[in-house]
Structures are given as C-alpha cells and as structure tokens.
Amino acid sequence: MQGRKFISPQSWFSLIYPASWNEFEDREGSFLFYNPNRWTGNFRISVYRKELNSKGAMMYAEEEMKQVLTLNNASRKMKIGSYNAVYYLESAKEEGVYYTTHHWILGERNTVIECSFTVPQGVAYDEVIELLNSIEIRSENKKYPSELIPIRLAETYEVNVVYDEISHRIKTSLSKEFQGTEEDLNKLQEVINKGLIGGKKRKDWFGLGVVLCVMLYNEVEGFEWKTLVDGSREAPVLYYVPSKRVIDPLAIVWNAMEKNGVVNVIEIYKELLSSL
C-alpha cells in the first residue's frame, strides 16, 4: 500500500497508513488515525508487551485471544497478515448517531495489539484491510536499520515544548520579541553569550538546534519535519526534500561546540543554508 509509515514509540510495532490520513491525539497508549479532510472512520491501535522473562510471557497473546473468544460469543478467529487474530464488532449511539466499531485483537508470544475502526453504522472495514495487513510486530532482539518516518505527535510536542522554552528565555531575559526568523539570530546569540543557554546541558544544545531548524523551516521552502528512529533513539529531525538532506538539531550544535569550543548560531545557520 502506498502510504505513510508509523513506528510506535519504543518500536514495538509498525504499520502503513493511507497518505491522506494523519495521526491525532488520543488517550495515553493509544494511537489515532483518520482522514482530516473527509472523515470515513477513526482507526485506533494500542500495543501491550510483557517482559520476556516474566511468567506466562510467551503465551500472553494466545491467552488474550482465547479470553476474547470466551467472553464474546460473536467473536471469531481470523488472520491479519501472518498473525492470528480475533475479530468482533459493536454498535453504539452517540449524540443521536449510530456507529459501528470493528475490533481486532492480534499478536504473538509476549505482544498483544488491539485495533478498532469506528465508522457510520453498517459500514464495513474494507478501507483498513491493507493497513491491518501492514502491521508488523517488531522483535526486541533484532537490530533494525535507521528509518525516517513522518513526524509523530510525540516528536511534534517535543519540538513545540523545546522551542517555547527557548523562546520564553529569550523574551524574558532580553525583553524582546522572538518570532523564530533569521532576524532573531542575534537575539539567540546574545543569550548564549550571556550564559543563559548552553554550558554542558544537552537539553540546551538540542533546544538551540530545534530553534535553528524552526528558523530554516520558516524561511526556506521544501522542509519537512521527520521522526528519526535509530535503535533506542527516537528524535525529531528536519528533512530538506529537494536534496534529501537530514538536519539533526542536536548534532548541528554539538558538532560546532566540539569543533570550535563555542557556539556561533549565525555561522551554523549560514553553513546549513550553504549545505542544502
């Protein structure tokens, strides 16, 4: 299926969702996807995993599916990709409108995935068949190659929080406005020179890198935010589509610090522009 790849935090599973869909905020531990331009249904997915050495871990998925089959007479066995699964549906009324929710429980060994697709009453789940079959439960013992995926909500929040923190420090310490454009580079350098940002704090270097990336995103067309998944590291990066250049917010500042002993954001910004 042509679409967008999603890898869950901690890399417990991956899937491909339609290109016209986006990820949206949902309850903790649940990931919500739907088409924001023409609503056809809400797809939710959650994952649960037992420690490999815990009691009953290797039978966890099988036991969960057995329990659903026992408690719900309308449930039935099926296959989703290569995984055993159990399916059932429910109907409910919300604000005077009836909806059908399709449910799937699938998994293997110590990992269980719960999926649901809520649609207008009576609508089948054809739209998510390819999505369901794209689900991959990722092994804890396998080394996966580094991947860039569309930025997840988790990294979007991280970028926003870090940017707001740096912006707030600049505004309060300098009593000046900060808009995240090239014109603000001197203000950013000023708080660094005053020792208000920097030192040995990794978080500060990452924050400076995020601000520089936001400036690039605001000033130059062709950038997209991505999530980098590289082993245990999951981080936001900026991606320049025309040249496929990846800009790592932490690396651009940390490398400058290691090379020169100081951070000059104006020079870093110029070098980034010339490298595109």
What does the pLDDT look like over 165-195, one tens digit per residue? 999 999 999 999 999 999 999 999 999 998 8
First and final CA of the chain: distance in angstroms? 31
Distance CA 202, CA 180 (A): 21
Q: What percent of the chain has pLDDT over 70?
A: 99
* Domains (range + CATH), the chain: 3-142 (3.40.1000.10), 150-275 (1.20.120.1090)
Rounded CA gap, 275 and 109, in Å? 47
The residue-averaged pLDDT of 140-155 equals 95
What pTM, to 2 d.p., does this model score?
Answer: 0.93
pLDDT at res. 200: 64
Q: What would you measure as the largest C-alpha separation in the chain, in angstroms?
A: 69
222 pLDDT higher than 90: yes
pLDDT surpassing 90 at residue 257: no
- What is the structure's pLDDT at 265? 94
Q: How confident is the model at residue 199 (pLDDT cuts 50, 70, 90)?
A: low
Cβ density class 75-106: b for 16+ within 10 Å, e for less? beeeebeebebbbbbeeeeeeeeebbbbbbbb
What's the DSSP call for residue 261? S
- Answer whether 208's CB lies under 8 Å from 215's CB: no
Mean pLDDT of the chain: 94
